[in-house]
Amino acid sequence: MTCRRLVATFAFFASFCPLSLHIHAQSVDNLDPALKARIDSIANDVLKQTGVPSASVAIVKGGKLVYTHAYGNAHLDPPVPATDDMRYSIGSISKQFTAAAILLLQEQGKLSLNDAVGKYMPGLTRGDEVTIRQILSHTSGYQDYWPEDYVMTPMLHAETAQQIIDTWAKKPLDFDPGTQWQYSNTNYVIAGEIVEKVSGEKLMDFLGEHIFHPLGMKSVWNSDEAKLTQTDATAYYRHALGPLRVAPKEGRGWMFAAGELAMTAHDLALWDESLMAQTVLKPESYKQMFASEKLKNGEDTHYGLGVGVRDINGHRDIEHSGEVSGFVSDNQVLVDDGASIAVLTNQDAVGAASTVARLAAPVIAGFPPSDTEKQAFDIYRGLQQGRLDRALLAPNLSDYFTPEAIADYQSSLAPLGEPLTFHQTGETLRGGMTFRGFTITYPNLRLRLTTYSYPDGKLEQYLIAPAE
């Protein structure tokens, strides 16, 4: 099997052609041992709790790739341990590469984000109204062709991008352009077609020339064209709580521009480095990519161009997850803190990758705890030692913490020792008080802490139970 276009180096050629060879990436281990132990514990714990076969992780700290490691088994029959030079499909994380291709074409003066998609793709529903910016930000109204978390029977057969567009982008819109946010893979099939028409190149060739090759991402594989090799991770799924089974492969064409990429966690981390250093695009392009799109009514979508835009303890988090048959991934990039974590797993419909990334990202970045986290953690440590500062408690909670309750908290929590993570997960108002949820993570155990506090800061509730 050959590629349509020859490229300069054999390594580059191997990255994009579906050949039965593999590029071996060098393992990276420059992380502080204590921090490395915490990351390893988080990853191993999540795999054990979820039953996901394996995970491959890559960490950037201080703007540089400092750690790669794989956990669990990449193949189950016979068991083969995962290694950090194995590739996994990254699913919808691919969308940020398609968005970057559009931005590169804008920098070259070949298109504008504000152009109507109909300028490049005639015949689309309301194509003279929907803009390129709206398809990249999922505010177009085009219906998603693949919202399911499994492979439907028609998807086992080959399809073309044009057939997907003819079926889903020529029906009535789900909403008026710019009035709602709704995730849609159809948007990115349209975007990929625009890249190819405007550049005159295949999407993978364009990405290789402008992104993968310059960044040294040698493992990149087009999993839309061909299944990963035996030297890569095997894709798995399960029915309910049944045994893990080898996942079916989507037919050719279904993942084009929306979820076609596979690579090592190592190489995804090289992309993360570039997002922080802004080495591929111009600063204005990154500004547009990372800007959370606003709807016509002013509502924030918390989504930019191919990336989610979140806030973690006041720190900007550029993130995205991805899923295709047998694989789930998550990539969180704290662009202002020089920290990121890429997590790739080989079982679909399970959130293990996102859980590892969510727990580990603040640890990697070294965020100081918020005031509420510090107070809650200080109380937790005190209860482990049988102590409680009742000046912090409202009367009802002070009554709740009888000598028996304090003794039970101490006897059950003290043996656990220092948690791996202790972080707030949510905050709402109720009953004139502020409700807060916290997750406390240990190897093989996660606890849920809930509190209520009055405007004066007094606590009305402080309850701990196993996390569901």
d(CA 67, CA 180): 39
In the block, residue with structure tokens 């889903």: 168
Contacts of 401 (CB under 8 A, 6+ apart): 388, 390, 393
pLDDT value, residue 23 = 53
pLDDT value, residue 17 = 42
pLDDT value, residue 231 = 96
Q: Which long-range contacts (CB under 8 A, 24 or more apart) does 115-123 make?
A: 117/190, 117/194, 120/193, 120/194, 120/197, 120/198, 121/165, 121/169, 121/190, 121/193, 121/194, 121/197, 123/170
Where are the alpha helices (H) located in 94-160, listed in sequence order? 94-107, 132-136
d(CA 143, CA 132): 15
Please choose, from the candidates 314, 223, 318, the residue with its C-alpha nearest in 3D space to the C-alpha of residue 272: 318
Helix and strand counts by DSSP (H, E) for the chain: 14, 16
Q: Is 36 exposed, middle or buried (0-12, 13-18, 19+ CB in 10 A)?
A: middle
As given in the structure block, the two tokens for residue 156 are 């086992």
Question: Each residue's pLDDT tens digit in the chain (468 positions)?
Answer: 333 222 333 233 333 444 334 455 579 999 999 999 999 999 999 999 899 999 999 999 999 999 999 999 999 999 999 999 999 999 999 999 999 999 999 999 999 999 999 999 999 999 999 999 999 999 999 999 999 999 999 999 999 999 999 999 999 999 999 999 999 999 999 999 999 999 999 999 999 999 999 999 999 999 999 999 999 999 999 999 999 999 999 999 999 999 999 999 999 999 999 999 999 999 999 999 999 999 999 999 999 999 999 988 789 999 999 999 999 999 999 999 999 999 999 999 999 999 999 999 989 999 888 899 999 999 999 999 999 999 999 999 999 999 999 999 999 999 999 998 898 988 999 999 999 999 998 888 889 999 999 999 999 999 999 997
Please choose, from the candidates 263, 439, 285, 411, the residue with its C-alpha nearest in 3D space to the C-alpha of residue 355: 439
